[in-house]
Amino acid sequence: MQTINVAIFASGAGSNAQKLIDHFRKHSQIKIALIVCNKPGAGVLTIAQNENIPSLLIEKEQFFRGNAYVDELKQHNVDFIVLAGFLWKVPVQLVKAFPQRIINIHPALLPNYGGKGMYGRFVHEAVIAAKETESGISIHYVDELYDHGQLIFQARCTIEAGDTPDSLAQKIHALEHEHYPVIVEKVIEDLQNRVK
């Protein structure tokens, strides 16, 4: 069975990227082949360096008006893309080049609290301001709209009376780290089985 090469797209410190790298370190068929980042100096680039994983720093013009780096991804034999705290919208060219092969994790229960500008702390602030009693994570396929593609998995956590955006963020991070690598593995294995 062929190895599936995964590219992780991230914009920040890379805690989810690190969990994914750790999870697939010894996997016989799934390999983290590339880290793609849109922010010079982001923590995830240090992780890539420490793990000896090639990285690609992308810039806005080519991503949105060029070919969305599809050629570079092909050069690295990328088969699948995992977004892990990547803050740019994915351009149509990339979605078309990797149909049903790009997944994202969102720190709320979609379809609520998704869309443009809804990321990180902004999501947790909105959820708490709305006096919700629960939040969670949504893992979904990526299409050309923000936080819109078909849902794959959700996990929930309770919001206590004293929770703040920061304490909620910690609960959400715990859910992300627990579930994302496992679900990524399952989605890729299902894909391999369909391709066979």
Active site residue 124: no
Instruction: Give the residue from 40, 34, 95 showing the smallest Cα distance to 64.
Output: 95
Q: Vertex 71, ends 70 and 75: CA angle to 5°?
A: 115
DSSP state at residue 67: -
Give yes or no for a contact between 152 and 140, defined as CB atoms under 8 angstroms apart.
yes
Evaluate whether 143 touches 96 at the Cβ level (below 8 Å).
no
Catalytic residue among 76, 106, 177, 179: 106
Phi, psi of 175 (to 5 degrees): -65, -40
Structure tokens at 174: 């715990």
Residue 158: beta bridge partners?
134
Catalytic residues, by residue number, are: 106
